[in-house]
């Protein structure tokens, strides 16, 4: 999941699942329209400027001769060019004002509400519900139904972060102690990558997330599975793995619903195996990656807030088997 600067630039211009130029929501279409308007107008202005400069170099000034008629023609030309610049800037102003207005507005009936809390360096995702037993908490993966407006309430637990899924909407800052709200809506199914867009410390670059837009039925299925407490381990190895989890440092920071682990410092691990990535979009969720992360997370994301563990090999294997069973 590592993105180099060049591949990011490429996907920005050519589209992709982390790009302003392949919009997948009404707001992103607005932003995309403004981007291409500015791109073509500024591109044309750049080409014209370069051409006239080349022309000026080509037709270098001959001996100094005073020609008042030509001077007044030049003055008229400069005034005309300035006028065109002002008009073009006004066009931009109106286009962005109209675009912003449309980006703010969205059909809000039967909307879904998701609360997103920024942490150094991961995202806590809470699906609010008036019935407490229906509240779903997960991390770094936001599932939304296609075609349904989603109200996102954001805040932060530590420093300022910024939520940015370029295919869906612009950026929105997550501010500690202050709740902001904005809307997203996915037009078609897909996986859209997002990223923290406000420098928030050591591992800012590894603070990614995924928005997974599913058809309504599939989304309901996902949510019904997430509401359930963690699966009971069905064999001795996994039962031992749960013992390891509950008697070692893991339990001091993580939650697994259905067990005694209920701490809210780190991501909720109740359905860890259902997620595609670990460490906020840094690594694919495989057994090997998870083992490396548990034993020495500091070599993968230096400075992150999870201390490295020291576990006996048997304990580690049992723990991995248990975590791998948390679908």
Residue 288 or 307 with smaller CB distance to other proteins: 307
251 binds other proteins (CB under 8 A): yes
Number of H helices, E strands in the chain: 7, 12
Interface region with other proteins, contact rule CB under 8 A, candidates 30-38, 42-50, 165-173, 301-309: 301-309
Question: Does 305 help bind other proteins (rule: CB under 8 A)?
Answer: yes
Stretch that binds other proteins, among 50-58, 137-145, 271-279, 306-314 (CB under 8 A): 306-314
CA distance 88 to 180: 33
Cα separation, 283 vs 276, in Å, equals 9
The yes or no reply on residue 248 touching other proteins (CB under 8 A) is yes
What tokens appear for 96 in the block? 């962005």
The answer to whether residue 280 forms part of the interface with other proteins (CB under 8 A) is: no
**Helix (H/G/I), strand (E/B), else coil: 62:** coil
Q: What are phi and psi of 172, to 5 degrees?
A: -140, 125
Residue 156 CB contacts under 8 Å (≥ 6 apart), including other chains: 117, 118, 119, 174, 175, 176
Tell me how far apart the alpha carbons of residues 180 and 269 are, in angstroms, rounded to a whole number.
Answer: 26
Neighbours of 196 (CB within 10 A): 27
Binding mask 202-241 for other proteins (x = CB under 8 A): ----------------------------------------
By CB under 8 A, residue 191 contacts other proteins = no
From CA 223, how far away is CA 133, in angstroms rounded? 12
Stretch that binds other proteins, among 105-113, 214-222, 228-236, 249-257 (CB under 8 A): 249-257
Min dist CB 315 to other proteins, Å, is 11
Residues in the chain: 327
Looking at the Cβ atoms of 52 and 310, the one nearer to other proteins is 310
Considering the complex, state which of residue 33 and residue 249 has its C-beta at the smaller distance from other proteins.
249
Q: Residue numbers of the site for other proteins (CB under 8 A)?
A: 247-249, 251-252, 265, 303, 305-307, 309-310
């Amino acid at each position: 999941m590592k993105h180099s600067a060049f591949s990011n630039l490429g996907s920005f211009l050519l589209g992709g699942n982390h790009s302003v130029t392949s919009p997948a929501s009404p707001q992103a279409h607005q932003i995309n329209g403004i981007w291409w308007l500015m791109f073509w107008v500024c591109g044309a202005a750049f080409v014209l400027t370069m051409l006239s400069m080349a022309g000026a170099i080509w037709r270098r000034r001959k001996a100094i001769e005073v020609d008042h008629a030509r001077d007044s023609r030049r003055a008229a030309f400069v005034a005309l060019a300035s006028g065109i610049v002002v008009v073009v800037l006004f066009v931009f102003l109106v286009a962005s004002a109209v675009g912003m207005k449309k980006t703010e507005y969205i059909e809000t009936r039967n909307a879904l509400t998701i609360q997103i809390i920024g942490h150094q360096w991961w995202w806590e995702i809470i699906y609010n519900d008036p019935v407490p037993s229906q509240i779903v908490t997960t991390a770094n993966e936001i599932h939304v139904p296609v075609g349904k407006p989603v109200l996102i309430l954001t805040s932060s637990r530590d420093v300022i972060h910024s939520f940015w899924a370029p295919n869906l909407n612009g950026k929105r800052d997550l501010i500690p102690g202050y709740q902001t709200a904005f809307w997203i809506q996915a037009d078609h199914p897909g996986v859209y990558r997002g990223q923290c867009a406000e420098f928030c410390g050591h591992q800012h670059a590894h603070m990614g997330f995924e928005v997974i837009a599913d058809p309504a039925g599939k989304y309901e299925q996902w949510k019904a599975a997430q509401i359930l407490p963690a699966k009971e381990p069905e064999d001795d190895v996994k039962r031992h793995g749960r013992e390891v989890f509950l008697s070692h440092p893991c339990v001091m920071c993580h939650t697994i619903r259905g067990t005694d682990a209920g701490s809210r410092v780190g991501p909720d691990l109740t359905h860890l195996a259902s997620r595609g990535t670990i460490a906020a979009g840094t690594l694919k969720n495989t057994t090997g990656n998870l083992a490396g992360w548990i034993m020495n997370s500091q070599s993968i994301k230096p400075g992150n807030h999870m201390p490295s563990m020291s576990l006996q090999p048997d304990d580690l294997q049992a723990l991995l088997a248990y975590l791998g069973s948390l679908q």
